[in-house]
A and B are shown apart, each in its own frame.
Chain A
Amino acid sequence: AAGVIQSPRHLIKEKRETATLKCYPIPRHDTVYWYQQGPGQDPQFLISFYEKMQSDKGSIPDRFSAQQFSDYHSELNMSSLELGDSALYFCASSPMAGELFFGEGSRLTVL
């Protein structure tokens, strides 16, 4: 069965650079979530989209933005990268009122 696809799996950037992460949800799932997980921490909710509209927002820095496109894939854009942005970024999708299915994550390293 198709799962949530995230790309790239690994990304290395310098401070002050920009990074874009992509997420392809499971077909027919109408909700997408983004999470950030630092070393030894729990996943922190960043933002979610329902039917291509932002549905909720968590502790997402102003330097970050996200959107969901007409084909339901989503992108997380991160600008002016800081060392503290180094983390695993997970995307999850779910059908309405259903459980979340997570991708394998994108590991961002900021040098």
Chain B
Amino acid sequence: DAKTTQPNSMESNEEEPVHLPCNHSTISGTDYIHWYRQLPSQGPEYVIHGLTSNVNNRMASLAIAEDRKSSTLILHRATLRDAAVYYCILRDVRTSYDKVIFGPGTSLSVIP
């Protein structure tokens, strides 16, 4: 399985943008980049995913490097509710019903 590397932790001030990086240098052409987050005492929650082009949704934006070896999850205005562990995961579209492996992710702290 292609691996991802994320910083263990990051801090952000409330209402400021947050850029969460992920390295995936061994990504294959059929791997989608998925992001999930897990708030304290809750199950993981889907955030966003993409293949090659940058993606936006109501929760976040995903910026994918041209060579696809790295990506960045962007939270445009961090709120206290965004404090969570963020996981960057690669999923091969050919075997998308197979296991999804979490971690280690980035623990994001938001400072009021």
How many chain B residues sit at the interface, stated as a range, is 20 to 34
B34 touches A99 (CB 8 A): yes
* Whole-angstrom distance between the Cβ of A7 and the nearest chain B Cβ: 14
Cβ contacts under 8 Å, A104 to chain B: 42-43
Q: Which of A30, A42, A48, A90 lies in contact with B99, CB distance below 8 A?
A: A48
Please encode chain A, from 69 to 86, with 1 for each CB lying within 8 Å of some chain B CB and 0 for all others: 000000000000000000
Cβ contacts under 8 Å, B15 to chain A: none
B45 touches A102 (CB 8 A): yes
B93 touches A33 (CB 8 A): no
- A-B interface contact total, Cβ < 8 Å: 61
- Stretch of B16-24, B66-74, B100-108 on the interface side: B100-108
Cβ contacts under 8 Å, B99 to chain A: 33, 45, 48, 56-58
* Whole-angstrom distance between the Cβ of A94 and the nearest chain B Cβ: 8
* Whole-angstrom distance between the Cβ of A30 and the nearest chain B Cβ: 8
A99 touches B46 (CB 8 A): yes
- A and B contact pairs by CB, cutoff 8 A, 15 listed: A30-B97, A35-B102, A42-B102, A42-B104, A45-B101, A55-B98, A56-B98, A57-B99, A58-B99, A96-B96, A96-B97, A99-B46, A100-B100, A101-B46, A102-B45
Name B's A-contacting residues (CB within 8 A). Answer: 34, 36, 38, 42-46, 49, 85, 87, 93, 96-105
The 4 A-B residue pairs whose C-beta atoms are closest, nearest first, are A42-B103, A102-B43, A99-B46, A50-B97
Name A's B-contacting residues (CB within 8 A). Answer: 30-31, 33, 35, 41-45, 48, 50, 55-58, 90, 92, 94, 96-105
